[in-house]
A and B are shown apart, each in its own frame.
Chain A
Amino acid sequence: KAGVTQTPRYLIKTRGQQVTLSCSPISGHRSVSWYQQTPGQGLQFLFEYFSETQRNKGNFPGRFSGRQFSNSRSEMNVSTLELGDSALYLCASSLDTLGANVLTFGAGSRLTVL
């Protein structure tokens, strides 16, 4: 069974640009959640999507957004990039409710903002 696939794995952007990251969950998993990991702040929850609806959201500005498609694939977008957005962005999928089911993580997308 294929795991969680994140693309791209690495990318470099400049301040002010926007970026879109993609996450394909394990087949049959309906929940996709996104996380940001930085050396200073550690892992932080961004948001969760379930059946194409954002169900939960962490404490991030509106520049961070996402969506989920009918096949459960999810994208997250960061607009007007800032240097502090440089991070490893991880997604995870689970069968159902975030937190009450085991999470399977992707390998992450490492974003560098110059």
Chain B
Amino acid sequence: KNEVEQSPQNLTAQEGEFITINCSYSVGISALHWLQQHPGGGIVSLFMLSSGKKKHGRLIATINIQEKHSSLHITASHPRDSAVYICAVSRGNQFYFGTGTSLTVIP
């Protein structure tokens, strides 16, 4: 059983749509990270959360510690948002990753 589950696995959206990617985890955590990976491999850290909500431009990340759930929202999606989005959690001395959500935004 994976410690971190993401949904959906694949997502196609029209430019301008509001997008939500979900992440559920089964262990107690010290922090949750949302990462973005573009084709070619480079990974960028978007958010690190331990509670509440964070916003950066068109991206919003929320976390509910009691429900062990986090969401990443993209408002007014754009083709340049096309990437794989990965949820990761840190717990003690370990770091666990979700399998990623592949997002394609069509112009």
Contact = CB atoms under 8 A, between A and B. Distances in A.
- Chain A interface mostly helix, strand, loop or mixed? strand
A90 B44 CA distance: 12
A107 B44 CA distance: 10
A107 B33 contact: no
Given A33-B95, A45-B95, A99-B95, A105 B88 contact: no
Contacts of A42: 97-100
Main SS of chain B's interface residues? strand
Interface of B: 30-31, 33, 35, 41-45, 48, 50, 86, 88-91, 93-100
Contacts of A110: 41
Contact of B41 (A44, A57, A88, A99): A88
A104 B45 CA distance: 7
Interface in A72-109: 88, 90, 92, 98-105, 107-108
B86 A43 contact: yes
Interface residues of A, number: 25
Contacts of B45: 102-105
Interface of A: 33, 37, 42-45, 48, 55-58, 88, 90, 92, 98-105, 107-108, 110
A90 B30 CA distance: 22
Given A58-B95, A98-B90, A103-B35, 10 more contacts: A42-B97, A43-B97, A45-B95, A55-B93, A90-B41, A90-B43, A102-B48, A105-B43, A105-B44, A105-B45
A108 B43 CA distance: 9
A105 to B, nearest CB: 4
A15 to B, nearest CB: 24
Given A100-B30, A101-B48, A108 B99 contact: no
